[in-house]
A and B are shown apart, each in its own frame.
Chain A
């Protein structure tokens, strides 16, 4: 059974550009959430999608957005990149809405903004 797949693994972008990250959840999982990990702030919740609907969003500016497709794959987009957006972005999937069985994380996308 394939795990959570995130692409690309590494990305270098210039300030002001935009970037799109992709996440394919475990087959059958309908919930996908995104997290940002930085040395200073640690792991922070970005947003969660279930059945193509955003259910909640963390405390991030509107430059951070996401979507989920009918096959549960998800993308997150960051526009007008800032140096502070450099981070490891982690995607997690869960089987059901209550997430009672926990989340399975991907290996992440390492974004560097220069």
Chain B
């Protein structure tokens, strides 16, 4: 069965500092991978996605993620965080083509210190 693990439940970063959120997956082939962000009381907004090709993908709001097959990882990064980045971040996996929906990690709560 496929799974997604986000090892960090909470992360606190100072405004202006760099950020890396970890995501590890378990899947037998190359999955479709996504990062979503959720603000309190809101739905999920897609930050970026990876299907194939270049393993470094650029997303919205200055985020990027790198797919590393050897480590089964898809970590999210941002060089300099802003207070508005405080939110819940979810990594998700889809088998692509299969109608099995998205499998989500438990999420990482990002806190920005002034």
What 12 additional pairs, Cβ within 8 angstroms, besides A56-B100, A102-B34? Answer: A4-B43, A33-B102, A42-B107, A55-B99, A56-B99, A90-B43, A99-B94, A100-B51, A104-B46, A106-B43, A107-B42, A107-B43
- Check A50–B99 contact: CB distance below 8 A: yes
Q: How far is the CA of A45 from the CA of B94 in the complex (A)?
A: 11
Q: Which residues of chain B have a CB within 8 Å of any CB of chain A?
A: 32, 34, 36, 41-46, 49, 51, 90, 92, 94, 96-107
Taking the closest CB of chain B, its distance from the CB of A30, in whole angstroms, is 13
> Secondary structure of the A side of the interface?
strand
Chain A hits for B36, CB < 8 A: 105
Taking the closest CB of chain A, its distance from the CB of B45, in whole angstroms, is 7
Q: How far is the CA of A35 from the CA of B104 in the complex (A)?
A: 10
What is the number of residues of chain A that contact chain B, defined by CB distance less than 8 Å? 30
Write 8 A-B pairs (CB below 8 A) sorted by A numbering: A33-B102, A35-B101, A43-B102, A90-B43, A100-B32, A103-B46, A105-B44, A108-B42
Chain B hits for A28, CB < 8 A: none
- Check A45–B97 contact: CB distance below 8 A: no
Q: How far is the CA of A102 from the CA of B49 in the complex (A)?
A: 7
- Check B96–A43 contact: CB distance below 8 A: no
**Whose C-beta in chain A lies nearest to the C-beta of B104?**
A43
